[in-house]
């Protein structure tokens, strides 16, 4: 996955190959629970190995200075770029099958998200807690840098930057012209 805008890559996530086993077992669990899917289990294991291998090859997650870029998909490729300053939470999730295999999932939630649940869920990131901490640290540094820029004084008003009093006078004069224009139309 290529980074956008020539951003410097800070960290690239690696994925544990055991996630293939997790996906196979999860699919088998769904088929077995549905009872109707039990006859499909042998087919699932035959086809599932190829599909999960392809999916794993296309799985990527890159942390840059400003974004978290995620790519995934076996048949349909999906790439998402999540601005770090929009990330509200980066949770670690571990279900029973994941716990059995020693895997964890990272769930990325953002501000202004329209749906419930995670915007992006990454299963099997190696050292997931360290990767999460790296993302959150970079997010906090980015927010601190942008708030420093916003709060730094701009210095005395210049010719290109009118003073607040000048702006208020312009607004007052404009309102007076509008009022005079409207009063002239009512007569």
Q: How many domains does the chain have?
A: 1
DSSP secondary structure letter of residue 12: E
- 3-state SS class at 88: strand
pLDDT score, position 120: 86
First and final CA of the chain: distance in angstroms? 68
What's this model's pTM, rounded to 2 decimal places?
0.70
* Ramachandran assignment for 39, one of left (phi > 0), alpha (psi -120 to 50 degrees), beta (any other): alpha
User: Domain of 24?
Assistant: 9-147
Give the per-residue pLDDT at 1: 56
Mean pLDDT, the chain, rounded, equals 85
Helices (H), 17-159: 19-33, 41-57, 96-101, 128-151
Residue 187 lies in a domain: no
Q: Give the pLDDT band of residue 161 (cuts 50, 70, 90).
A: confident
Cα gap 34→13, rounded to integer Å: 34
pLDDT tens readout for residues 84-128: 988 888 999 999 999 999 999 999 988 776 666 567 889 999 999
DSSP class of residue 15?
Answer: B
pLDDT for the residue 154: 55
1 in a structural domain: no
Hey, is 90 helix, strand or coil? strand
pLDDT of residue 119: 76
User: What pLDDT is attached to residue 27?
Assistant: 92
pLDDT the model gives residue 181 = 84
φ, ψ of residue 112 to 5 degrees: the values are: 75, 15
Q: Is residue 67 part of a domain?
A: yes
Indicate whether 174 belongs to any domain.
no
CATH code of 31's domain = 2.30.29.30
Predicted pLDDT of residue 153? 58
Instruction: Answer yes or no: is 138 within a domain.
Output: yes
Please indicate, yes or no, if residue 125 is contained in any of the structural domains. yes
pLDDT computed for residue 115 by the predictor: 63
In-domain check, residue 75: yes
If phi > 0 it is left, if psi is from -120 to 50 it is alpha, else beta; for residue 149 that is: alpha
DSSP 8-state symbol, 117: S
Report the pLDDT averaged over residues 2-24: 85
Closest CA to 122 of 135, 137, 111, 113: 135
Q: Residue 173 pLDDT > 60, yes or no? A: yes
Q: What is the pLDDT of residue 118?
A: 66
* Any domain includes 165: no
pLDDT in tens, 46-88: 999 888 999 899 999 999 999 999 999 888 888 999 899 888 8
């Amino acid at each position: 996955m290529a980074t956008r805008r020539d951003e410097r890559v800070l960290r690239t996530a690696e994925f544990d190959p055991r996630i293939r086993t997790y996906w196979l077992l999860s699919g088998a669990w769904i088929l077995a629970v549905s009872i109707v899917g039990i006859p499909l289990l042998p087919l699932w294991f035959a086809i599932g190995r190829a599909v999960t291998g392809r999916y794993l090859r296309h799985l990527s997650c890159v942390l840059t200075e400003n974004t978290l870029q995620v790519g995934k998909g076996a048949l349909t490729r999906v790439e998402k770029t999540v601005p770090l300053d929009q990330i509200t939470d980066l949770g670690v999730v571990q279900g029973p099958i994941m716990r059995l295999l020693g895997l964890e999932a990272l769930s990325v939630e953002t501000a202004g998200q329209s749906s419930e649940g995670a915007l992006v869920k990454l299963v099997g990131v190696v050292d997931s807690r360290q990767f999460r901490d790296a993302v959150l640290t970079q997010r906090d540094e980015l927010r601190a840098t942008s708030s420093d820029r916003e709060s730094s004084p701009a210095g005395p008003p210049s010719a290109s930057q009118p003073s607040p009093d000048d702006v208020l006078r312009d607004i007052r004069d404009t309102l007076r012209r509008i009022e005079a224009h409207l009063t002239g139309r009512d007569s």
